[in-house]
Every structure is written in C-alpha cells, then in structure tokens.
C-alpha cells in the first residue's frame, strides 16, 4: 500500500499527501536552487526528519522510563555542498526541558536519539553533528 502521493504543482513546488491521515506537506525549491524558498525544500525535509525522528524515539524511551520530556525542541541546520549538490552536514541541537533527569536517563535518551531509523538511513558521508542541551 502506498504511503503518500506527491503532486507537482508547478513553479518548482510539490504537495505531498499522507494517504492514511490526509495531512499535507508543501515543498518549494530553495532560493539558492532557482526556487522561491516559501516552504521546506526537499533537503530541508531530509534534515528536519532527522530531528523529528530523534525526538520521537526519545519520546518512546522517556515514556518507558516514566519521565516527561514534553517541550523538548530541536534546532536543525543543514549545510549543502556542490559537485554533486547534496546535503553534506546536518547539525541538530536538542534542548531538553528543565525536568530532573538522572544521569542514567540522560544517557538512555541520548543513545536512543543517536540510533533512530533516520540516523541509520542517512548516507555515512553526511556528517551528523548532534548536541544535547540539558537545563
């Protein structure tokens, strides 16, 4: 069964519909690649999916540990290279809420983030710079 349907809308823009839920993601080519930069580019989505995957897997582990990480955020930076044009590096800074996490809980959550499916799916040549900020 198909996961999504992607439609080219013209002017370097697409609409991706998640078939199970009906939710939609618009993508636009970035300014540095002839686009308007009015939505996430496909490579923005790639970089952002790493952070969303990391936070999701951390959330599963936090639930198992019976700790609350609601309010955690991730700041994502994508660095492109050329020849070939590709994502060269993804930086993710995960800011954890000021809950009283034990050293063990911090270690488990950090390890789970580093082993999320998207992390394993990215090409090894893409540099991943991941930091955790515990308040």
For residues 22 and 55, membership in a common domain is answered with: no
Average pLDDT (117-127) is: 97
CA 69 to chain centre: 17
For residues 10 and 72, membership in a common domain is answered with: no
Residues spanned by the domain of 126: 42-134
* Global confidence as pTM: 0.94
For residues 20 and 63, membership in a common domain is answered with: no
For residues 107 and 50, membership in a common domain is answered with: yes
Both tokens of 53, joined, read 């995957």
What's the chain's average pLDDT? 97
For residues 97 and 118, membership in a common domain is answered with: yes
For residues 11 and 55, membership in a common domain is answered with: no
For residues 97 and 129, membership in a common domain is answered with: yes
pLDDT in tens, 28-49: 999 999 999 999 999 999 999 9
């Amino acid at each position: 069964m198909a996961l999504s349907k992607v439609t080219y809308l013209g002017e370097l823009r697409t609409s991706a519909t998640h078939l199970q839920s009906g939710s939609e993601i618009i993508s636009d080519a970035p300014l540095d690649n002839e686009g308007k930069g009015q939505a996430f580019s496909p490579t923005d989505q790639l970089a952002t999916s790493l952070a969303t995957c990391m936070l999701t897997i951390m959330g599963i582990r936090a639930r198992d540990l019976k700790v609350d990480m609601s309010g955690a955020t991730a700041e994502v930076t994508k660095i492109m290279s050329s020849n070939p044009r590709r994502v060269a590096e993804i930086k993710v800074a995960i800011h954890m809420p000021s809950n009283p996490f034990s050293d063990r809980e911090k270690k488990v959550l950090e390890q789970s983030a580093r082993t999320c499916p998207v992390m394993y799916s990215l090409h090894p040549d893409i540099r991943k710079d991941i930091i955790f900020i515990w308040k």
